Structure 1
């Protein structure tokens, strides 16, 4: 059966920022590349926050997450890697010659010399509001992410959560909504300090330590929310109070599941996979990048994911060919971009003439 399978130099599992950049950079290293994504679309975690503004990618001015996602995907296709969507890899078998046979949950198989695990937090699911009957409001005004900021214009919005997403949405919505109230179970917020300060200095009403205890609706729409101050055990300390709302936005984090990958023998540290400074795992030929990687100087930014991806690709290249250069030549001097630059210049000249 494996004789019919095409053999790849590197197979990247995961189509988020780290996986997409690894697909691009492996092309720079002249590697035969396949990327496999469990979902039917690329982008990973960035798909959850299409309206969010991204400020911290080097050399990129503030950009909507949806636009950044499109650009990352376009870049990933630069060297025409094989892209496979809708397959969750569950099985790994190392063959006698050292190549690895991957099996998807659906039964499809893939053959590769090396692997890069760009799994993020695994298969992501948004943590839902743990209140009985809350799901019936999801079709109307109970939200877990923001698709269009304009849909909240002039509305009374309550946000439950205290991480980056909750704080960022509060800052985005404060100039659009009629009012914004943020309810968080702890006194301290988990978002970036600058963003938290900006939120507290604005007209956002911050209630801590508080939790949503009940939803009050008519039909399939929420009209009010009960909140209560809570103690360290999460129990209400006083009687609840009601707040009239037009929209409720829940940001209680994401729950990830790596699935059967955790049975492959990879060494874990905390919740993700232990790696060395070259992004190598304890299993030969298997490397890790992005949020799934755990090493001492890990940088939890998109910029960190891109760096992880390049380091993992370089390590995979050296695993295959110890005599290969340590890294790819920079794009400004890389012959692989010569023809692409000519095509790009021709387009720019054509636009200038128009």
Structure 2
């Protein structure tokens, strides 16, 4: 089988921000690169909140997540890496020659010298609303994320949840939706302090500690929601209120699991791959970056994901070619960009 496979210097598993930047940076290090993504599209968790504004990428003005995803994808394509979509990795095996064969659940295999795992928190799925018939309305007006703010223009929207996503979506919909109500089962929001302050300043209707108890509707759509006050254990207190709605948005968080990776002999905790300061997993030639990697002084920002990616790629490069250890250039001094820079300058004239 090995002779039939094309050998890559580096294979990146996961097409979110860390994986995309790793694909760019490995091209900058002149590595033959492949990126494998389990979903049908690149962008990772940025696709979960496409219309949210991101402010904390250095040198980048406030930008919507979907636009940042597009730019990261464009950047990742700079050196023409091989992109493989719709393949979830099932197993990794070492060959006698010291290479790795990566096998997907669909049976395809990939041969590589090194691996960077940038899988986020693993396979993610929204925590569903545990109310009778909730699944019946998922194709109409019960949503677990917001993909288009204009869809809610002039509508009465109820948001269930109290974390960052719930608070951010409520603020984003203020002034677009006719009415926004946030229902949260706790006495305090878990969202970022500044976002919560904005929500309260906007005078968005808030019901705490309340939870959705019942959905009212026909076979097609939800028309109203019954909410009820809950105690500290989440038990309904039968102090119900009836709220007419045009749409329900549920933001109860995400379930994630790194799953089969636990069987690969890597050190892990509940949601992470444990690495050292070189992003090494303990398996020769296998690294982790982004949300999937955990180490001391971890920075849980997009900026940190980019740093992780570059660090992992640099050490993968020196693993393959130890004499290249000092051959690390920033883009402004890297001759690989000379031709590209010239084309950009000519286009600007």
Cα separation, 2, equivalents of 1:299 and 1:241: 42
Q: In structure 2, what is the equivalent of residue 250 of structure 1?
A: 250
In 1: Cα distance, 2:101 partner to 2:51 partner:
39
- Cα distance in 2 for partners of 1:67, 1:84 equals 22
Q: Deviations over 1:192-239 (max 9, x none)?
A: 111111112212112222211111113311111111121222111342
Q: Which residue of 2 aligns with 1:81?
A: 81
Distance 2:140 2:272 in 1: 36
| 1:203 to 2:195 alignment | no
The residue aligned with 2:12 is 12
| Uncovered stretches (5+) of structure 1, i.e. residues with no partner | 350-354
Q: Which residue does the alignment assign to 2:49?
A: 49
Alignment of 1:60-139 (within 5 A): 60-139=60-139
Tell me how far 1:326 sits from its aligned partner: 4.8
1:144 aligned to 2:144? Answer: yes
Helix, strand or coil at the partner of 1:269:
coil
The answer to whether the 8 Å contact 1:92/1:100 transfers is: yes
The residue number in structure 2 matching 1:346 is: 346
2:273 paired with 1:288:
no
Distance 1:182 1:254 in 2: 18
Aligned residue for 1:57, secondary structure, equals coil
> Number of paired residues?
349
For residues 261-299 of structure 1, the C-alpha deviation after alignment (integer angstroms, 9 at most, x for no partner) is 221011112321111111111222111011111112112
1:149-160 equivalences under 5 Å are: 149-160=149-160
- Whole-angstrom CA distance in 1 between matches of 2:156 and 2:221: 13
Supply the distance in 2 between the matched residues of 1:162 and 1:326 (Cα, whole angstroms). 48
* Residue in structure 2 matched with residue 270 of structure 1 by the alignment: 270
Provide the C-alpha distance between the structure 2 equivalents of 1:270 and 1:38, rounded to a whole number of angstroms: 20
3-state secondary structure, aligned to 1:103: strand
3-state secondary structure, aligned to 1:232: coil
Asked whether the 8 Å contact 2:122–2:271 carries over to 1, the reply is no
> Separation in 2 of the partners of 1:225 and 1:93?
51
Contact 1:90 1:259 in 2 (8 A): no
- Structure 2: 5+ residue runs without aligned partners? none
1:323 match: 323
Which position in structure 2 is the counterpart of 1:228?
228
SS at match of 1:323: helix
**Distance in structure 2 (CA, Å) of the matches to 1:198 and 1:273:** 36
User: 1:58 offset after TM fit, Å?
Assistant: 1.1
CA distance in 2, matches of 1:334, 1:285: 25
Query: Alpha carbons of 1:327 and 1:138: their partners in 2 closer, same or farther (altered >3 Å)?
Result: farther
Secondary structure of the 1:58 match is coil
* CA-CA distance at 1:35 after TM superposition: 0.5
The question of whether the paired residues in 2 share the 8 Å contact of 1:314 and 1:326 is answered with no
Match of 1:166 in 2: 166
TM-score, length basis structure 1: 0.95
Once the 2 structures are TM-superposed, how far is the Cα of residue 341 of structure 1 from its aligned partner? Answer: 0.5
